Structure formats: structure tokens, C-alpha cells
């Protein structure tokens, strides 16, 4: 299983903890640690919140309405550092991928790396964030699942991905947008308007931190992203689906990928624990699901494996009664993958059957394939670069 996420109270031997990405409770804790009188805590938390999440402050010294003494004490114990951007790649289609190095969690840790991806469109910008380093679940078509190192990300590390993206996209007061690629702009468009938890990891195996991160991201006094624009994608951790809906209420996406248990057991091994019937029941009961808030069903198109017209018809039958949209994802290959992507005509035929049954069935255009930023490809580039670097020194 995964190990716990690091907490704010880092060991003394490690670097000063950063408050960028912290929850209100963590900020209050930090203020108590510098002996702030209890009666001031609420007001100080509100000030810090505004500076960190609304203004994108990078330095306590900039917080002009916070007393100099408090700023000084904060700077002695904490920082506002964000994870280091080890590499930034910009695809020809404007997709950006950032490789981020996280702070070490103990003396033996060299700092794990995660990737997050930004996908611009004319009317929106979607940030695909990671919830874990790697993933324990080993879906047979996903490269992330082949990675050995796994740990949960902390709330701070999840929120920090959005902060890094907004910094790099010049989306805080006083910053300029980059000139080397497409970033949507206009009166009503935000550079990052949507978040999807579709990067590395299974978000429902790190539910508490994911929920806390969503609360920070959707807080109206700061980052202010509506929960309707935040989607959590899961391979089907049934008991956690209801909790997510009841406690937090973001949009839900289910990685279905097969309509029969025998095949889904193979593609998504978690299905052996929570089979299709149970999974769909949890979707029927998902608090807040409605025609205005549909559940997305993701279906990766694997040539000759799950892409027949009979399977499309079965998919429609299975989803009856659930407010659903179906997202067909062309399989994104990675080195050594045991599958191929379905032919375009097969995908179209599948999509037509689903569409004629009354479902929106967009085929997700692969984005950023040239920089290996598409679904399921994350981490491969880094590992490849490492392998190359190793070869170079041998």
C-alpha cells in the first residue's frame, strides 16, 4: 500500500516547511507556532490566505498589511516555496508538461518527482494534477501503474501544482503570460479554469488530502475554482465514492473501460474487489449527480480488446438510469505497452452507437503526444531521460 503523505511539521533536520498550498487549519497552526495570540489567528489566517491564494505572493515581505514582526517570525520558520520545476515542455499544440521535484519527506528521500499537464483550449484551460507519486493499481494499459515508487501527496503538494501552473502561465497579479504558446485569454476566461485529477495516482486512495486540496482550490476568497469545474477520476474505489460526494462534492469521472467483469478484471485489476455492478450502483447513488451534473465514464479504446459494436451497445444498456456522459479516449501508447489504439473508423462506429442512444460521446483528442503528456503516459519521459543519462555515464 501507499505510505502516508508528509505533514507540515517537518523534522528539524529538513528544510523549512512551505505554507504555499496550506489549508486554513495549517495556517492557523503555523501562526500558533510563532506565538500569535489566539484572538488574532482568524484575522491573520485571512490575511495570509489572500496573499498566498489571491495575490500569489512569493515572499512574506510583500504582505504589506501584515505586521513586520509577524512577517519576520514567519520567515524564520517557514517559506512560501513551491516545488522546483525540473523541466517544462511545451507541445506544438500548446499543451505544457511540468516535471516537479517535491521536498524530501525524510533524510533518505532525494525528493520524489511528479508531473502535471496543462491543456489550453479556446474557452478554457484544464490542469491535470497528480494525487500520488506513481500508482499502486497496475491497470494493464497505464504506464503510471508500472512505476515502483509510490507515496501519497500532501494537500500542499496537490494545491502547489495549481500554484506552479498559475505562476508559469503568468496568472497572478503583476505577472505576464508566456509568449511561447497558447494560453486562453479574454474577459471571462481564466488561464486555469478547470482541474482534473487525471494525472498520476488514484485520488480515492488519498481521499483526505484530495478533498482538503479541493477545498483550498475552490475557496471563494482565494483560488476560487467552482467544484463544478473540478473532476476527480477514479478507477472505482467504491466505498470512497460516496464519501467523496457527501463530504466534498466535485464532479466524478469513472474509468470504466470494459463492460464485462472478466475483461475489466484484466484491464483494471481493482475490479476484482469492486465489480462493475457495485461500481455502477455507487454511481447511481453519487450525491449531487443530476442531468446538470453528469458523471463522466471514461473508456479507453483498445484495438480488438474492448471496441466492438456489441460492447458499445452493452455500455449504453449498463448506464441506463445514470446521468452520464461517455468520454472515449484513444489509447496512448508507451514503450512496451501490450495494446494498440483502435482504428479511427472503429472509434467512430463505437461513438455513433453511444451518441445515437442519446449520450454525448466526445472522443478525447490526444493532446501533447509529442511531449508524452497524454493520459497514461506520465512519468515515462522522465524515466526515459534517466535511462539515457545513466547510459551516458556508463
User: Which positions ≥6 away from 355 have C-beta within 8 Å?
Assistant: 361
Q: Which is nearer to ligand SAH, 142 or 169 (CB)?
A: 142
Binding mask 115-154 for ligand SAH (x = CB under 6 A): --------------------x-----xx------------
Q: Which one from 26, 113, 115, 211 is the annotated catalytic residue?
A: 115
26 binds ligand SAH (CB under 6 A): no
Our answer to whether residue 115 is catalytic in this structure is: yes
The correct pick among 137, 196, 289, 371 for binding ligand SF4 (CB under 6 A) is: 137
Q: Quote the CA–CA distance of 344 and 70 in Å, as a whole number.
A: 61
Contacting ligand SAH within 335-394 (CB under 6 A) = 375-376
Q: Which is nearer to ligand SF4, 140 or 185 (CB)?
A: 140
Q: Which one from 135, 139, 341, 375 is the annotated catalytic residue?
A: 375
Residue 126 in grid coordinates: 484544464
Q: What one-character-per-residue DSSP string does 224-254 give?
A: ---GGGEEEEES--HHHHHHHHHHT--EEEE
Phi and psi for 143 in degrees, rounded to 5?
A: -75, -30
Stated as kind and residue range, the H or E segment containing 329 is strand 324-330
The correct pick among 160, 198, 324, 371 for binding ligand SAH (CB under 6 A) is: 198
- In total, the chain counts a number of residues equal to 394
Q: Output DSSP code: residue 38.
A: G
Q: Which is nearer to ligand SAH, 126 or 255 (CB)?
A: 255
Q: Quote the CA–CA distance of 130 and 114 in Å, as a whole number.
A: 7
CA distances for 151 relative to 190, 204, 240, 308, 343, angstroms = 31, 13, 18, 37, 36
Q: How many whole angstroms from its chain centre is CA 125?
A: 14
Q: Quote the CA–CA distance of 76 and 162 in Å, as a whole number.
A: 26
Contacting ligand SAH within 212-271 (CB under 6 A) = 233-235, 255
User: In this chain, which stretch among 59-67, 101-109, 324-332, 382-390 interacts with ligand SAH, using CB under 6 A?
Assistant: 324-332
371 binds ligand SF4 (CB under 6 A): no
Residue nearest to ligand SAH (CB): 376
Q: Residues in the site for ligand SF4, rule: CB under 6 A?
A: 135, 137-139, 142, 144-145, 201-202, 235, 255
Q: Residues in the site for ligand SAH, rule: CB under 6 A?
A: 135, 141-142, 198, 202, 233-235, 255, 298, 300, 329, 331-332, 375-376
Positions annotated as catalytic residues are 115, 375
Amino acid at each position: 500500500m501507499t505510505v502516508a503523505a508528509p505533514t507540515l511539521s517537518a523534522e528539524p533536520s529538513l528544510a523549512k516547511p512551505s505554507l504555499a498550498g496550506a489549508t486554513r487549519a495549517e495556517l492557523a497552526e503555523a501562526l500558533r507556532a510563532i506565538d500569535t495570540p489566539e484572538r488574532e489567528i482568524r484575522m491573520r489566517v485571512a490575511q495570509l490566505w489572500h496573499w498566498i491564494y489571491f495575490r500569489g505572493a512569493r515572499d512574506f515581505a510583500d504582505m504589506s498589511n501584515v505586521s513586520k514582526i509577524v512577517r519576520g517570525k514567519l520567515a524564520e520558520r517557514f517559506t512560501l516555496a513551491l516545488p522546483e520545476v525540473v523541466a517544462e515542455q511545451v507541445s506544438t499544440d500548446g499543451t505544457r508538461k511540468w516535471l516537479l521535484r517535491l521536498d524530501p519527506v525524510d533524510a533518505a528521500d532525494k525528493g520524489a518527482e511528479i508531473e502535471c499537464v496543462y491543456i489550453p483550449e479556446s474557452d478554457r484551460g484544464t490542469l491535470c494534477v497528480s494525487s500520488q507519486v506513481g500508482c499502486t493499481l497496475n491497470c494493464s494499459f497505464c504506464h503510471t501503474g508500472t512505476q515502483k515508487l509510490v507515496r501519497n501527496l500532501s494537500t500542499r503538494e496537490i494545491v502547489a501544482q495549481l500554484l506552479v501552473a498559475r505562476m508559469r502561465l503568468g496568472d497572478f497579479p503583476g505577472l505576464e503570460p508566456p509568449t511561447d504558446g497558447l494560453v486562453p485569454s479574454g474577459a471571462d476566461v481564466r488561464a486555469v479554469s478547470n482541474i482534473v485529477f487525471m494525472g498520476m495516482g488514484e485520488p480515492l486512495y488519498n481521499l483526505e488530502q484530495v478533498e482538503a486540496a479541493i477545498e483550498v482550490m475552490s475557496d471563494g476568497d482565494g483560488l476560487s475554482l467552482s467544484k463544478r469545474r473540478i473532476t476527480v477520476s477514479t478507477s472505482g474505489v467504491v466505498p470512497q465514492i460516496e464519501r467523496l460526494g457527501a463530504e466534498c462534492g466535485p464532479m466524478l469521472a469513472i474509468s470504466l473501460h470494459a463492460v464485462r467483469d472478466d475483461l475489466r478484471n484484466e484491464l483494471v485489476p481493482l475490479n476484482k474487489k469492486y465489480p462493475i455492478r457495485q461500481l455502477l450502483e455507487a454511481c447511481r447513488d453519487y450525491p449531487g449527480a443530476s442531468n446538470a451534473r453528469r458523471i463522466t465514464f471514461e473508456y479507453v479504446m483498445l484495438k480488438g480488446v474492448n471496441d466492438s459494436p456489441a460492447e458499445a451497445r452493452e455500455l449504453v444498456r449498463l448506464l441506463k438510469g445514470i446521468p452520464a456522459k461517455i468520454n472515449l479516449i484513444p489509447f496512448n501508447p508507451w514503450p512496451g505497452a501490450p495494446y494498440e489504439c483502435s482504428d479511427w473508423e472503429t472509434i467512430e462506429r463505437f461513438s455513433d452507437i453511444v451518441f445515437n442512444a442519446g449520450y454525448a460521446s466526445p472522443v478525447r483528442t490526444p493532446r501533447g503526444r509529442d511531449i508524452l503528456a497524454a493520459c497514461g503516459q506520465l512519468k515515462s519521459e522522465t524515466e526515459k531521460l534517466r535511462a539515457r543519462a545513466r547510459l551516458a555515464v556508463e
